[in-house]
């Protein structure tokens, strides 16, 4: 039987069973091995804080139906091709693949909508490809420069993966700002020179980063972190905002300090490429980079809970727990 997670409304999740789909002549049938919860976007959807315009992401083919409750959701599934249509190359049979597909034990798709994976890449590493693609996008948008003082607010999955990438640059310093102590430890393990809480950040920045950070990437998902981030920047500092705040509206202090420092505030979002890169970069090139860095960094160590898909409701209830970093469904 096919098992699919359905969001029926705020804090209402259930698993439905249906017959397995049959691939059409140009399709693959994929059996899921695992899929990852995106604590940011799926947390908003579960809590009823996701704007309706966000619920239907036109950049994800699998999510173009509906646009409101009830709906399937998710976009990080790794599986294996178990059947192919008559018009599909038989070499696809039994290949491991990644798909931007909702949590679903069996689904049909086309070869163009999956990313073929090497057998050497563990499914629990490959399931981080979407978040790694976001981290790659943030880094491309941030343009880190040699010798800069850089900070990242939020040490969730995206924040940690971003730290992993930034730690490979010849920076003067790399700071993580994160209120939870167990995540602070993860941040230093993933390349931060130090990880401190928001209250301690100003003194750390003042001591080690002279007049402030040259560059800050905000990925905490907490609206109140935005003003703090502005205050951490030095003259002509750059703030890259990768957080989704959902229906929460952050209040920005764009007063005298913001103007005198000539600060730059820029959004970053993985659904598009910045125009400055389109002559050389494509979404496929970026996705291949995400796969490459997943193979190098092997982020499966960040999985905090593995849960069978049948326990989906319990999994989403746990998203607010302090010890939850990454939940992965098994099938």
pLDDT value at 59 more than 90: no
Same domain, 162 and 102: no
**pLDDT grade for 54, boundaries at 50, 70 and 90:** low
For residue 211, pLDDT over 90 is answered with no
The verdict on 114 and 141 lying in the same domain is no
* 252 and 309, same domain (yes or no): no
pLDDT of residue 255: 86
Q: In terms of domains, do 42 and 113 share one?
A: yes
pLDDT above 70 covers a percentage of the chain that reads 94
Domain coverage including residue 8: 2-122+298-330
Band (pLDDT 50/70/90 cuts) for residue 60 is low
What integer pLDDT is reported at residue 323 of this predicted model? 86
pLDDT above 90: percentage of residues in the chain: 80
User: Does residue 257 lie within any of the structural domains?
Assistant: yes
Are the CB atoms for 269 and 241 separated by under 8 Å? no
Do 117 and 145 reside in the same domain of the chain? no
User: Do residue 9 and residue 111 come from a single domain?
Assistant: yes
- pLDDT score at 64: 54
SS3 of the chain: CEEEEEEEECCEEEEEEECCCCCCCCCEEEEEEEEECCCCHHHHHHHCCCCHHHHCCCCCHHHCCCCCCCECCCCCEEEEEEEECCCCCHHHCCCEEEECCCCECEEEECHHHEEECCCCCCHHHHCCHHHHHHHHHHHHHHCCCCCCEEEEECCCHHHHHHHHHHCCCCCCEEEEECCCHHHHHHHHHCCCCEEECCCCHHHHHHHHCCCCEEEEEECCCCCCHHHHHHHCEEEEEEEEECCCCCCCCCCCCCCHHHHHCCCEEEECCCCCCCHHHCCCCCHHHHHHHHHHHHHHHCHHHHCCEEEEHHHHHHHHHHHHCCCCCCEEEEC
- Per-residue pLDDT tens over the stretch 110-154: 999 999 999 999 999 999 999 999 999 999 999 999 999 999 999
Q: Which CATH number characterizes residue 198's domain?
A: 3.40.50.720
Checking if the pLDDT of 3 tops 80, the result is: yes
Indicate if the pLDDT at residue 55 is higher than 80. Answer: no
- 282 located within any domain: no
Residue 206 reports pLDDT greater than 80? no
Q: Domain for residue 97, yes or no?
A: yes
Does some domain include residue 255? yes
Q: Give CA–CA dist 266/317, Å, rounded.
A: 33
- Does residue 238 register a pLDDT over 80? yes
Label residue 301 by pLDDT band (50, 70, 90). Answer: very high
The pLDDT value given to residue 245: 80
What's the confidence (pLDDT) of residue 93?
A: 98
Regarding whether 211 and 260 lie in a shared domain, the answer is: yes
Residue 284 in any domain: the answer is no
Q: Which two tokens stand for residue 88?
A: 């599909």
pLDDT class of 321 with cuts at 50, 70, 90: confident
Is residue 108 included in any domain, yes or no?
A: yes
Are both 140 and 113 inside the same structural domain?
no
- Determine, yes or no, domain membership for 303: yes
The answer to whether residue 316 scores a pLDDT higher than 70 is yes
- Looking at the structure, do residues 144 and 118 belong to the same domain, yes or no? no
CATH of the domain at 35: 3.90.180.10
In this predicted model, which residue has the larger pLDDT, 188 or 59? 188
Q: Per the structure, how many domains does the chain have? A: 2
- Residue 51: pLDDT over 80: no
Is residue 22 in a domain?
Answer: yes
């Amino acid at each position: 039987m096919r098992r699919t997670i359905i969001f029926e409304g705020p804090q209402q999740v259930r698993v439905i069973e249906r017959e397995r789909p049959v691939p059409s002549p140009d399709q693959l049938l994929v059996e899921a091995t695992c899929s990852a919860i995106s604590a940011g976007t799926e947390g908003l959807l579960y809590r009823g804080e996701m704007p309706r315009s966000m619920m239907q992401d036109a950049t994800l083919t699998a999510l173009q139906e509906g646009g409101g409750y009830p709906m399937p959701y998710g976009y990080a599934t790794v599986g294996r091709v178990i059947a192919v249509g008559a018009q599909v190359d038989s070499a696809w049979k039994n290949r491991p693949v990644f798909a931007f597909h909702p949590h679903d034990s069996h689904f049909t798709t086309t070869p163009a909508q999956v990313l073929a994976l090497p057998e050497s890449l563990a499914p629990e590493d490959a399931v981080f490809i979407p978040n790694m693609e976001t981290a790659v996008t943030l880094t491309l948008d941030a343009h880190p420069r040699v010798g800069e003082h850089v900070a990242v607010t939020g040490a969730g999955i995206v924040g940690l993966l971003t730290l992993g990438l930034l730690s490979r640059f010849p920076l003067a310093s790399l700071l993580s700002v994160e209120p939870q102590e167990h995540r602070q430890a993860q941040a230093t393990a993933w390349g931060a020179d130090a990880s401190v809480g928001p209250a301690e950040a100003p003194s750390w920045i003042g001591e080690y980063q002279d007049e402030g950070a040259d560059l800050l990437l905000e990925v905490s998902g907490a609206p109140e972190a935005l003003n703090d981030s502005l205050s951490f920047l030095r003259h002509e500092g750059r703030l890259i905002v990768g957080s989704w705040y959902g229906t929460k509206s952050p209040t920005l202090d764009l007063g005298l300090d913001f103007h005198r420092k000539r600060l730059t505030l820029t959004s970053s979002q993985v659904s598009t490429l910045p125009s400055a890169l389109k002559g050389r970069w494509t979404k496929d090139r970026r996705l291949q980079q995400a796969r490459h860095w997943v193979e190098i960094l092997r982020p499966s160590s960040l999985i905090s809970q593995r849960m069978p898909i049948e326990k989906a409701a319990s999994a989403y209830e746990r998203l607010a727990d302090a010890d939850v970093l990454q939940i992965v469904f098994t099938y």
